[in-house]
C-alpha cells in the first residue's frame, strides 16, 4: 500500500490575539519537537500569521491560512491573496470550510477558484467537504460529496492537484462532540478515494491525503488513524490548547 505521511492540522478559527497565538505556537513547538514522519499544520487568524511564522521557522510545524482570495491583488476589501499568504510564511490554506460555506455563502464555484489560486501560489490546498445533518439523515452524504468534489475540482488535471488534501468533515460532527464512527468515516474516505481515481486516475488516488474532521480528540484519534483511508485529521476546538493538540499529534 502507498505510504502517505499523516497530516495533523489545527484550525484555530477566530480565536487568539497575536500574543496568544505566539504563546500557543511556542508551547506546541516544544511539545511536539520529537515528532517525525508526521506533517503538522496550524492555521491561526490572518493577523497572527506573520508573528507565528517566526516561531515555526525551522521547526516541523507548517503554517496554514483559513481562507484565500483568487486574485493576486485588487479592490477586494477584506480579502487576502495567495501571494500575501506566501509572504506571511504559509504553506497550507484551508478552503471551503463548512463555516465559510454556511455563514459566508461560499459556493463550490468559489471553492474551485480558490483551489486554483492556491495551486498557482504554491500553497497546499486543504479542500473541506461534508454533508449537513439533514443531508446525512436523508442518506444523501455521498451525492453531496460527489457534487462538492466534482464542482470544486472541475477543470483540474491530476498533476495540478498533486499536493491537494481533502478534508472530509461531516457538518453535524463539527464542534458538536459527535464524531462519525471510525468505520463509517473509513467508508466515506474510501468512497472519496474511488471518486478521485475515477476523475483523475490511480496515481493521484493513491497519493492524495484524505483527512477527517469533526470533534477529533486525544481519545478518538488512534481509532480514526487506524483506518486505511484516513490520512490525518483537521482539528478545531481541541487544537486551541497546545497540550491537548500535542496529544493528538503524538497519537500511537
Ligand atoms: C473544524 O472546524 O474543522 C473542526 C473539525 O472543528 P471541531 O474539531 O471543533 O469539531
Counting from 1 in the atom list of ligand 1, the atom nearest the Cα of 128 is 3
Asked whether residue 105 carries a pLDDT value surpassing 70, the answer given is yes
Counting from 1 in the atom list of ligand 1, the atom nearest the Cα of 216 is 8
- Residue 231 CA from chain centroid, whole number: 11
Q: Which residue did the predictor score with more confidence, 178 or 151?
A: 151
* Count, residues in the chain: 252
Nearest CA to 10 out of 40, 50, 37 is that of 40
Question: Residues with catalytic annotation?
Answer: 97, 169
d(CA 136, CA 151): 20
Q: Is there a contact between 38 and 6 (Cβ–Cβ < 8 Å)?
A: yes
Could you tell me if residue 2 is inside a domain? Answer: no
Task: Decide: 241 in ligand 1 pocket, CB within 6 A.
Answer: no
Could you tell me if residue 1 is inside a domain? Answer: no
In which band, very low, low, confident or very high, does the pLDDT at 31 lie, cut at 50, 70 and 90? very high
* Predicted pLDDT of residue 176: 86
Place of cell 484519534: 221
Nearest CA to 124 out of 169, 162, 81, 69 is that of 162
Domain containing 145: what range? 7-249
What mean pLDDT comes out for the span 93-117? 97
Could you tell me if residue 227 is inside a domain? Answer: yes
Residues 6+ apart with CB under 8 A from 4: 207, 208, 209, 231
In which band, very low, low, confident or very high, does the pLDDT at 93 lie, cut at 50, 70 and 90? very high
Nearest CA to 53 out of 94, 15, 13, 92 is that of 92
Asked whether residue 2 carries a pLDDT value surpassing 80, the answer given is no
Asked whether residue 1 carries a pLDDT value surpassing 60, the answer given is no
Q: Which residue did the predictor score with more confidence, 160 or 80?
A: 80
Specify the number of domains making up the chain: 1
pTM of the model: 0.96
Pairing of the two strands 165-168 and 124-129: parallel
What mean pLDDT comes out for the span 3-15? 96
Asked whether residue 206 carries a pLDDT value surpassing 80, the answer given is yes
Could you tell me if residue 207 is inside a domain? Answer: yes
Residues 6+ apart with CB under 8 A from 198: none
Report the percentage of the chain scoring pLDDT > 90: 93
Q: What is the CATH number of the domain that holds 112?
A: 3.20.20.70
Could you tell me if residue 50 is inside a domain? Answer: yes
In which band, very low, low, confident or very high, does the pLDDT at 3 lie, cut at 50, 70 and 90? confident
CA of 214 to the centre of ligand 1 (A): 5
CA of 56 to the centre of ligand 1 (A): 22
Task: Decide: 236 in ligand 1 pocket, CB within 6 A.
Answer: yes
Q: Which residues pair with 164 in a beta bridge?
A: none
Amino acid at each position: 500500500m502507498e505510504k502517505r505521511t499523516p497530516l495533523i492540522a489545527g484550525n484555530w478559527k477566530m480565536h487568539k490575539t497575536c500574543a496568544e497565538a505566539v504563546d500557543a505556537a511556542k508551547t506546541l513547538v516544544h511539545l511536539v519537537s520529537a515528532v517525525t514522519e508526521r506533517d503538522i499544520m496550524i492555521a491561526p487568524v490572518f493577523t497572527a500569521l506573520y508573528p507565528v511564522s517566526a516561531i515555526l521557522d525551522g521547526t516541523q510545524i507548517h503554517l496554514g491560512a483559513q481562507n484565500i482570495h483568487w486574485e493576486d491583488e485588487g479592490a477586494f476589501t477584506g480579502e487576502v491573496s495567495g501571494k500575501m499568504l506566501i509572504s506571511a510564511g504559509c504553506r497550507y490554506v484551508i478552503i471551503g470550510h463548512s463555516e465559510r460555506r454556511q455563514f459566508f455563502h461560499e459556493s463550490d464555484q468559489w471553492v474551485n477558484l480558490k483551489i486554483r489560486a492556491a495551486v498557482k501560489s504554491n500553497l497546499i490546498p486543504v479542500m473541506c467537504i461534508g454533508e449537513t445533518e439533514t443531508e446525512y439523515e436523508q442518506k444523501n452524504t455521498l451525492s453531496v460529496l460527489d457534487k462538492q468534489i466534482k464542482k470544486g475540482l472541475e477543470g483540474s488535471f491530476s498533476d495540478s492537484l498533486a499536493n491537494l488534501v481533502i478534508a472530509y468533515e461531516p457538518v453535524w460532527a463539527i464542534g458538536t462532540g459527535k464524531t462519525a464512527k471510525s468505520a463509517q468515516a473509513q467508508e466515506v474516505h474510501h468512497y472519496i478515494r474511488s471518486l478521485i481515481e475515477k476523475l483523475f486516475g490511480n496515481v493521484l488516488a493513491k497519493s492524495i491525503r484524505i483527512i477527517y474532521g469533526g470533534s477529533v480528540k486525544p481519545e478518538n484519534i488512534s481509532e480514526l488513524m487506524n483506518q486505511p483511508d484516513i490520512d490525518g485529521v483537521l482539528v478545531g476546538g481541541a487544537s486551541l490548547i497546545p497540550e491537548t493538540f500535542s496529544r493528538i499529534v503524538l497519537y500511537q
